[in-house]
Amino acid sequence: MAATLRDVARHAQVSLRTVNNVVSGYQHVSEQMRRRVQAAMEELDYRPNPIARTLRTGRTGVLALVVPEIDVPYFAELAREVINAAAEVGYRVIVDQTGHDHDRERQLLTGADRTMLFDGLLFSPLVTPAELQEMQDGPAVPLVLLGEHDFDGRYDHVAIDNERAAYEAVSHLIGIGRRRIAAVGVQPQENYATPQQRTAGFQRALREAGLPLEPQYLRAAPHYRRAAGYRAARELLALPEPPDAIFCYADLLAMGVIRAVFDAGLSVPEDVAVIGIDDIEEGRYSRPTLSTVSLDTPRIARQAVERLATRIEDPEQPAVQITAPHTVLARESTQAS
């Protein structure tokens, strides 16, 4: 028969309440008492019952991570880091995706059957914070937003400074002597903050360098995939005066751009320099290796998980904005060998 909490308490010669405090991660337990209880658990081969814990504490010990597309390398890397960070504070993680579907976002946020499965939600949504608030028609699940949106004080938010990241990426292209710089990733048909912020950074860098903003050098991408980058680059390279550098709003776009440049009989970076944002693993081993803006995904994940754990403990805290650092990494796609 499996050992119970009462068995552990009897074996450790402590109260059942003390054992509950240790299992629940209650911090005001002496280290000596914690080790004593944990030793008893190991000796009895005690295995926590998650259903009993949920009934006892009202918590599942599970966080949810919801992203637009799990097969996009950046989100896959983010999921890995969130799982690692959550484990450090005693949580497990379930991962789901929306597929860029607003209705799916609404289902994941408001479904009563879903909210019982996790204690808090790390969410990378497409809708605005105001729309998110309208979706929540009951007790709000603790929520931390990742990327995409401007901070408006409604929800905790962890993101990089997208405008600054784009500005620095384009400034790097200008610094290596490029003057006809295009951008791939504009999404004028949607009200998403990230592409808007990156467009603003792109434009500021050109303006401060005294370079003209050529409308034909701005190319939309409905989804940040290799195929979208490839199509946009083919269009750009067919212009009477094609660009000599291309700034991509995501590394996957940049991978498609590089392929299009080579298919056109040109070279990267000699004819066209290319830089992206994300620092996905693929770009570190491509040929040429991809210059990018590294987002420090492990730190983003850790800060988001820590903030969500704090939010679960104290739901009434005011929302905060956490800006994660970024770094421009110049590799072969902008540096001729």
State the DSSP H helix or E strand holding residue 322, giving kind and residue range, or none if neither. strand 321-324
Asked if residue 241 lies in contact with residue 216, where contact means CB atoms within 8 angstroms, the answer is no
The reply to whether 62-160+298-324 shares the fold of 5-57 is no
pLDDT band at 113 (very low <50, low <70, confident <90, very high): very low
How remote is the C-alpha of 301 from its chain's centroid?
7
pTM: 0.79
Mean pLDDT, the chain, integer: 85
Which 8-state DSSP code applies to residue 328? E
CATH code for the structural domain at 5-57:
1.10.260.40
Question: 216 or 125: whose pLDDT is higher?
Answer: 216
Tell me the domain boundaries of the chain: 5-57, 62-160+298-324, 162-295
**Tokens 């009202």 found at:** 58
Instruction: Give percent of the chain with pLDDT exceeding 70.
Output: 82
Residue 166 or 40, more confident: 166
- pLDDT value for 116: 55
- Residue 247 gets which letter from DSSP? E
pLDDT of res. 52: 54
Spatial distance between the Cα atoms of 59 and 120, rounded to a whole number of angstroms: 10
Q: Which residues of 7-18 are buried (b: 16+ CB within 10 A; e: fewer)?
A: bbbebbebeeeb
Rounded to whole angstroms, the Cα distance separating 296 from 307 reads: 17
Q: Closest Cα to residue 5, out of 30, 18, 34?
A: 18
* 28 CB-near residues (< 8 Å, 6+ apart): 21
Which residues of 32-75 form beta strands (DSSP E)?
62-67
3-state SS, residue 92: strand
Q: What is the pLDDT of residues 309-327, one digit of tens each?
A: 888 888 888 888 999 999 9
**pLDDT of residue 184 exceeding 50:** yes
162-295: which CATH architecture?
Answer: 3-Layer(aba) Sandwich (3.40)
| Residue range 129-182, pLDDT digits in tens | 566 666 555 446 888 988 766 666 778 999 899 999 999 999 999 999 999 999
- State residue 154 phi and psi, 5-degree precision: -85, -40
Q: Looking at domain 62-160+298-324, which of 3.40.50.2300, 3.20.20.150, 3.10.310.30, 3.55.40.20 is its CATH number?
A: 3.40.50.2300
Tens digits of per-residue pLDDT, 235-294? Answer: 999 999 999 999 999 999 999 999 999 999 999 999 999 999 999 999 999 999 999 999
